[in-house]
Structure 1
Amino acid sequence: MINQVYRLVSERQFEITYKDRSINSDHVIVRPTHLSICAADQRYYTGSRGKEALSEKLPMALIHEGIGEVVYDSKGEYQPGTKVVMIPNTPVEKDDYIAENYLRTSKFRSSGYDGFMQDYVFLERDRFVVLPEDVNSNVAAFTELITIAMHAITRFEKKAHNRRNTFGIWGDGNLGYITALLLKRKYKDSKIIVAGKTAFKLDNFSFVDEVYNINEIPENLKFDHAFECVGGIGSQYAINQIIDHIIPEGSISILGVSEYPVEINTRMLLEKGITMIGSSRSGYEDFKNTVDFLSENQIVVDYLETLIGSVNEVKTIQDIIDAFEKDLTTSWGKTVLEWKI
């Protein structure tokens, strides 16, 4: 069959390419239905990744957050219409110690490898997870982002000490919101503290115990462990503020991505015996755990609906451009695409 792929070829410019694919392969064919724009997609779309990165990775189909419906399975294991969340990480090897999302050989959709902006996506059988029939599709569209927080918490649980009375989360954006929400649900008896810089964003964190502006944090504020969800140059100030307030021998989970190196206070890092845990992307087990968790916690799904910034019907390439431009002006939440092209 001929599959249409909608690729970014240069800054703010998409073109359709055609790929001949066999329907009788071992892949399961999925038709995307709801996609979500990520900040990484925007860096490619606006050309802010830099000329060298763009020349290396373009042309490329964007989007690595999305769900779809099974169209065809040559083995008949999955019926047409089955709702699934698609997994962007694509490993080509296994390692006894290194997770699939940290293997340097793994491919990642919309990062040098075609993403989900296609008529049909051909997925291996471990590259999707079946969703409940009654799933909120607009929330499910950004499941991948939720798995980032789920993966970071899983790594934290394996590496940090067991005193978990108080957590600090730095970052008032989408990832900070999701991380705080999952922690509050997983550690119901723990105090969750959020620090950010934007008042109207912090207003959305009604489910946590304490909220602070980063410029008004009390000197006596203390917590056992922390999650940094800021990214960019701001992560430098967030990490150092966390180091100042964290109780000795706590852990700091780093989730924010920065394009450039940042400076941190290593003297106090050493004096306090702090453990830093880096987390990036996610894999099959994180998607499975996330889908199971959301299925069992409807209240979390209800809170996640707050993150739906806008829902945009996409039937043409111009609709794609309009959605990306709209996303650039959105100050809170996720931009969801109803993929009807």
Structure 2
Amino acid sequence: MINVVYRLKSPKFFEEAIDEIELDGVVVRPTYLSICQADQRYYQGSRPAEVLEKKLPMALIHEGIGEVVFDDSGKFSSGDNVVMIPNTPQGEDVCRANYSYKSKFRGSGFDGFTSDLVRLESDRVVKIPEDFNPHVAAFIELISVAYQGIVKFSQISITPKDTLGVWGDGNLGFITALLLKVKFPDSKVIVFGKHLENLNLFSFADEIYQIHNVPKNLAIDHAFECVGSSASQSAIEQIIDIINPQGIISLFGVSEYPVPINTRMILEKGLTVQGNSRSEREDFVGVVETLKQNPRMFEYLEKLVTTICEINTLNDLKEAFDKDHISHFGKTILKWNK
């Protein structure tokens, strides 16, 4: 079957390419996609030149849902709404597939979801209810990243979870804080951020603080860092300063450069630093079930949807990325009409 793929050829320049798609596995027609910061780094050309040279041209986007067109396994019916899993294992490994060097990731190691059709293995697709808000469902992948980190945290934490701190007032901080409140309803969830206008959207949190105005005697049991970039250094410093002994620091923020950490105090307090990246099938299933059981989450998550762009042409796609780039909070959703 003929398929059209819309690839980033060079920073800020998309092109169409004709590909042949095999009619095996599950063939999905994308319907709603979501732009991630990683996509923007490719689009803006802010990745190192050698990385861009190696990976481009490539179709972007790894967050999205679609409609099943064909399935040779019989697990899905034509018209089923599904969330697509970008992580693609390439064989067995001793670690989880989302941390395995053997895995490939769409929109990073190979083509993402900006195409007319996407072929996936049946285990790379999870059915979602028809009544799910498609604008929120489009970024289930991002929610699944926070979900898997919280599951790992639950498995290794040994001290009380009375007070949980989230650093970062952006999209991932919002999602992580919301999931923590759902998973640990008896815990106090405190959000630390820089922008008061963003923090005021965290209406479900027990307390919010701007990072320069934190009470002197405040202490937390465990921390979740969702800041990233060079700003993660000051966030981690503040976390180490106010976290209780034997607490866990879960890191989610991505930085292109090395970030210094006060190892002396990590040793003194017996802290555990846990890295988190990407997610796997069980996390997508967990997110879908969590959303089913807690439908009110959609009301909060809708606050993250700041821009919805209909994509009919390559110029529409370019304009959507340009709009997203100047937005400092929220998600840009692409209604994929290609």
Determine if the alignment matches structure 1 residue 180 to structure 2 residue 177.
yes
Match of 1:83 among 78, 81, 84: 81
1:340 pairs with 2:337: yes
1:236-247 matched pairs, under 5 angstroms = 236-247=233-244
Which of the residues 94, 113, 134 maps onto 2:92? 94
Match of 1:3 in 2: 3
RMSD: 0.8
Aligned match for 1:114, one of 111, 116, 136: 111
1:133 aligns with 2:130: yes
The answer to whether the 8 Å contact 2:22/2:119 transfers is no
Q: Is the 8 A contact 1:166 1:191 kept in 2?
A: yes
CA displacement 1:237-264 (0-9 Å, x = unmatched): 1011000000011000000001010011
How many residues end up aligned between the 2 structures? 338
Amino acid at match of 2:53: S
Q: In structure 2, what residue type is equivalent to 1:2?
A: I
Which secondary structure state, in structure 1, belongs to the residue aligned with residue 113 of structure 2?
Answer: coil
Structure 2 segments unaligned to the other structure (5+ residues): none
User: Which residue does 2:249 correspond to in 1?
Assistant: 252
Letter paired with 2:179 = L
Distance in 2 of aligned mates of 1:221 and 1:202: 18
Q: In 1, distance between residues paired with 2:223 and 2:22?
A: 48
1:162 CA drift (Å): 4.4
Secondary structure, in 3 states, of the residue corresponding to 1:338? Answer: strand
Distance 1:162 1:125 in 2: 39
Q: Which runs of 4+ in 1 moved over 2 A?
A: 74-77
Cα distance in structure 2, aligned partners of 1:22 and 1:52? 32
Q: Residues 251 and 274 of structure 2 are in contact (CA less than 8 Å); yes or no, is this contact kept in structure 1?
A: yes
Of 268, 272, 277 in structure 2, the residue corresponding to residue 280 of structure 1 is 277
Which of 65, 68, 81 in structure 1 is aligned with 2:66? 68
Contact between 2:249 and 2:274, CA under 8 Å: does it hold in 1? yes
Q: Distance in 1 between matches of 2:167 and 2:73?
A: 47
CA shift, 1:74, in A, is: 2.6
Measure how far apart 1:182 and its partner are: 0.4
* TM-score scaled by length of structure 1: 0.98
Secondary structure in structure 1 of the residue aligned to 2:315: helix
Which letter does structure 2 place at the counterpart of 1:64?
Answer: H
Q: Does 1:53 align with 2:51?
A: yes
Structure 1 runs not aligned, ≥5 long: none
What corresponds to 2:145 in structure 1? Answer: 148
Conserved in 2, the CA contact under 8 Å of 1:58 and 1:112? no
Report the residue type matching 1:16 in the other structure.
Answer: E
**Corresponding residue for residue 290 of structure 2:** 293
Q: Which residue of 2 aligns with 1:14?
A: 14
2:201 equivalent to 1:201: no
How far apart are residue 331 of structure 1 and its match?
2.1
Residue number in structure 2 paired with 1:214: 211
Letter aligned with residue 93 of structure 1: G
